[in-house]
Amino acid sequence: MASPQSSERLKVFIALASVYILWSSTYLAIRIAIESIPPFMMAGLRFFISGWALYAALRFTGVKAPEKKEWAAGASVGFLLLLVGNGGVVYAEQWVASSLAALGVATVPLWTVLFFGLWGKWPTRLEWVGVALGFAGVVLLNLEGDFRAHPAGALAIIVATIGWSLGSAWGRRLPLPKGLMAAAVQMIAGGFFFFVLSFIWGEPVPEAVSLRSGMALLYLIIFGAIIGFSAYTYLINNVRASLATSYAYVNPVFAVLLGVVAAGEKISGAGLGAMVVITAAVILVVSASWKAKQSD
């Protein structure tokens, strides 16, 4: 039988693989989904459906229903992570290039370790080196990208990264439901907030949804939310912040590779160099996080 430590490492590995790979493709999926579905309405459908599907599955397997205080805590975190965090990215992708969006999201580890530090859990020196190295790699990856963007979109990405990071850190101090039920509650609440925002914003109900947008939304529901967000919820509650948010450095790399395979794009010398730097940063953060966790 596997030891508890090896079992934990396997869970962390699977969760990291999920957010590393699946979330790399969500930028493209969001762009396609909002071609015929208003952005906030699309996000509301994505998380509301995902949340209730996960909630029903958990209740069916015997997981107890959350208490009132757990619903309140989950709604608070869902507001920051999803409405502010994901909502800012969804809004920005109406104008902002994917490369710029990826670069903005790459600041999440910096903000997150800062918020964790304010609550007394500062990263180690080696983790700081890994975080800085990863950010440098993403900057290098985006040097040849198109940085011309709508000012409101650029601001939305900044607000999104701060909201996501604050929600990730604050959630560790709130009485959230145990296990995957925390993800379900956050997605249900986040989806509801998106519907309210969509109504206030005056988004029209689309007369028709294209097959491309519909399939992209389905992909976001299953792989981006039910699997991806659940994996992130597990990580942020079980490993150090620098490791849980390291996806922000890996996603741009996989996004470039996806472009090469799916759209015939080419990788420049700067892009190849950036991938080497980012890979080194992830290895550094992972090893430093495990060492720090063993000494906690």
171 pLDDT exceeds 80?
yes
pLDDT of residue 190: 97
Flag whether 22 is in a domain: no
pLDDT confidence band for 150 (50 / 70 / 90): low
Q: Give percent above pLDDT 90 in the chain.
A: 47
CA 94 to mean position of chain CA atoms:
18
Flag whether 9 is in a domain: no
pLDDT confidence band for 69 (50 / 70 / 90): very high
100 pLDDT exceeds 70?
no
Of the candidates 2, 19, 44, the one whose C-alpha atom is nearest the C-alpha of residue 203 is 44
Q: Give percent above pLDDT 70 in the chain.
A: 87
Flag whether 5 is in a domain: no
Flag whether 14 is in a domain: no
Residue 150, phi then psi, degrees to nearest 5? -65, 130
Q: Please give the tally of structural domains in the chain.
A: 1
Q: Which two tokens stand for residue 68?
A: 């009132």
pLDDT of residue 296: 56
**What is the C-alpha separation between 45 and 42, in angstroms, rounded?**
5
205 pLDDT exceeds 80?
yes
Tell me whether residue 258 is exposed, middle or buried, using C-beta atoms within 10 angstroms of its C-beta: 0 to 12, 13 to 18, 19 or more. middle
Residue range(s) defining the domain that contains residue 57: 27-295
- pLDDT tens profile 209-220: 999 999 999 999
pLDDT of residue 59: 96
Flag whether 3 is in a domain: no
Flag whether 264 is in a domain: yes
N residues, the chain:
296
